[in-house]
Each structure stands twice: as C-alpha cells, then as structure tokens.
Amino acid sequence: MKKSNIHGTNDKRSVNPDWFTGKTWMKVLSGKIKSQDQDIYHVHFEKGSRTKIHYHNGNQVLIGVKGKGSLEIFRKYGNKKSDFKIKRMEKITLNEGDIVHIPAKTLHTHGSVDKKKPFSHIAINILPRKNAEYKTTWYESDFKSKVSKSI
C-alpha cells in the first residue's frame, strides 16, 4: 500500500496545449501510489479552460475538487474519422464533490465554466483490460456542430 497527498507537492506536469483551450496543468497521482489498473490525475483548469472534444478507449471517472466545471457529452454523425458533425446531447455541471462516470468511447469535453475562477478535478482513467494501454483520441471542433480534424 502506498499513501500520498494531492496538495503541497510541486510536481505539476504540463499538458499538451493542442488538447486544451486555455491554461491547464496536472499532477500524475497514479505513479505516487503505484496504481496499475488505472491512470489517476489531478487536473487544474485555469479560468474558462477546457479540454477539446475527445473520447477514451476505457471508462473514465471525474471527481470535482475545486470550483465549478462542466462535462458535455456529444453524439457523432457520419462515418468519417476526422471530419464529422456533432450534436451536444447533455451538459452536466460539476461542483466540488460531484462524481461522474463516462463510458468508454463517449465523445465529450470537460473543464472550467467560469471565466473568473479555475476548476479542478480528479480524473481516473480505467484501463480497458489488464496490461492494455489507455488511449485518448482528440479533435478540433467548434464545440457546437462539427469536428474539423483529428489532433
């Protein structure tokens, strides 16, 4: 068993800026506790920042830690892999303490909804099967009706 704490450590990891709309950083928690069945991150979104639209090959759980955020679920229309239409199916507000399960292959975005305050959450990415690699597919989009390309 391994114990750690998400606060007080200076181990911020930068994120790929192509995958977010604004300033975002994270801490990798799974390495601290030697987790092998899931990847665990503490993700911090600066004011108004969010992920670009994406999906994962495994399930994901988000737990609101600080501030106010949102999770938006989209449906894909068409057969193309990188240029297709989307429709927002659901928008969920995420407050401190809220927990949400996102099934594998669900097209979504999440992050801060407040242009004046940051938001952070714990993301638990559950491996699709033992010894598998957790993969995320990212897209450029207008967040309303279309995806223009795969990132």
Q: State residue 10's pLDDT score.
A: 64
Q: Which CATH superfamily is domain 13-145 in?
A: Jelly Rolls (2.60.120.10)
pTM, full prediction: 0.91
Q: State residue 130's pLDDT score.
A: 77
Each domain of the chain, given as residue ranges in start order, spans 13-145
Order of strands across the sheet that contains 99-102? 13-14, 24-28, 38-45, 119-126, 60-66, 99-102
Q: What is the pLDDT along the chain (151 residues), one digit of tens a residue?
A: 677 777 755 677 888 999 999 999 999 888 888 887 889 999 999 999 999 999 999 999 999 999 999 999 999 998 888 889 999 999 999 999 999 999 999 999 999 988 889 999 999 999 888 778 889 999 999 999 999 989 9
Q: State residue 56's pLDDT score.
A: 97
Q: State residue 30's pLDDT score.
A: 86
**Residue with the two structure tokens 């996102």:** 102
Rounded-to-integer distance, Cα 22 and Cα 108, Å: 17
Q: State residue 8's pLDDT score.
A: 56
Report yes or no: 138 and 151 within 8 Å, Cβ to Cβ. Answer: yes
Sorted by sequence, the CB contacts under 8 Å of residue 11 that are 6+ apart come out as: 27, 28
Closest CA to 45 of 117, 95, 137: 117
Over its C-alpha atoms, the chain yields an Rg (Å, rounded) of 15
Positive or negative, the CA dihedral 112, 24, 107, 102 is negative
